[in-house]
Amino acid sequence: MPAHRDLVRSLPDLGYTDLWSAETAGADAFTPLALAAEWAPRLRLGTSIVPVFTRGPAVIAMSAAAIAELAPGRFTLGIGSSSPTIVEGWNGGVFHKPYQRVRDTLAFLRAAFTGAKVSADYDTFSISRFRLERPPATPPRVMVGALKQGMLKLAANHADGAITNWLAPSDVATVRSAVNDDTELVARIFVCPTADKDAARALGRLLISSYLTVPVYAAFHEWLGRGELLKPMQDAWASGDRAAANAAIPDSLIDELIVHGHPDACRERVASYVDAGVAVPVMSVLPTGGDPVEVVRALAPGR
């Protein structure tokens, strides 16, 4: 992580405006942003996302308040439900009523960031006499990780925006139809800047079979109209035949969901998400075998 310092410092001059973190089984979402807050004080920072089941509500509030203090006015807290694998399989929690848990956590955070003492019975947890000792002078904006209509409407009506994932530019209009016109939409976009089409598609197959077999993503793509297209892959995955699942993914789907090609072509493809209605395209850069620092520079908006 310390090796990111020079790259992060260079991002604003390369034309980048934002730096968003994520967490699965590597770094947590907050620690990299604490470093980035000092390294690049011009960047907007965000989490995409912090799971609401793997930390207590007060711990989320404390961690977010700390980053908000380090980056006043520049930090956005993205929260979401995550998945049963991460919540139950990896953290020993219970993945139950995800919509309600996200809604309740959002309501609690709004209250906690004011510095008021919070005592409340929510549907999925109760809080007794919690007060942030260091409430941020500028409370962080709070966004909701959202795929289908329920979470998207929660994000539009009660949060500061929605964070979505695993969609093509042609899907943005469907997602936008579930939110308000002024809702800020952040989208995580997988980018593989390589001219080796076969290598990019092979990596894309692995990612698609790993993600779009997860129930929440399967339901998302059912809503987007890809249910029949994905069914052969999902059936093979459910039977334990991983090779058949990967083989069942058509190249056309990979080309829709994974941005790949020369860096110039990748930048154009990412820009098409913005043209379709995404406010903040967050590039998640996939490994190409090249120097990742040079890859980030090659993809820079300022080029």
Q: Using 50, 70 and 90 to split pLDDT, how confident is the model at 195? A: very high
Pick from 166, 168, 285, 178: which is nearest to 217 by CA? 166
In sequence order, the 6+-apart residues with CB closer than 8 A to the CB of 257 are: 166, 167, 168, 190, 204, 208
Element at 126 (helix H, strand E): strand 126-130
**Is residue 209 a contact partner of residue 249, using CB atoms and an 8 Å limit?**
yes
The per-residue pLDDT for 182 is 94
pLDDT in tens, 26-77: 999 999 999 999 999 999 999 999 999 999 999 999 999 999 999 999 999 9
The per-residue pLDDT for 109 is 98
The per-residue pLDDT for 94 is 97
Q: pLDDT above 90 covers what percent of the chain?
A: 98
The per-residue pLDDT for 265 is 97
Q: What is the DSSP letter of 231?
A: H
Mean pLDDT of 180-190: 96
Q: Using 50, 70 and 90 to split pLDDT, how confident is the model at 302? A: confident
The per-residue pLDDT for 127 is 98
Tell whether the model's pLDDT for residue 303 goes beyond 80.
no
Q: Using 50, 70 and 90 to split pLDDT, how confident is the model at 249? A: very high
**Is residue 89 a contact partner of residue 122, using CB atoms and an 8 Å limit?**
no
Mean of pLDDT over the chain: 97
CA–CA distance, 250 with 247 (Å, rounded to integer):
8
Write the DSSP assignment of 51-92 as a string of letters. ESSSS-HHHHHHHHHHHHHHSTTTEEEEEE---HIIIIIIT-
Mean pLDDT of 225-251: 98
Q: Using 50, 70 and 90 to split pLDDT, how confident is the model at 300? A: very high
CA–CA distance, 143 with 41 (Å, rounded to integer):
21
Q: Is the pTM of this model over 0.85?
A: yes
Tell whether the model's pLDDT for residue 210 goes beyond 90.
yes
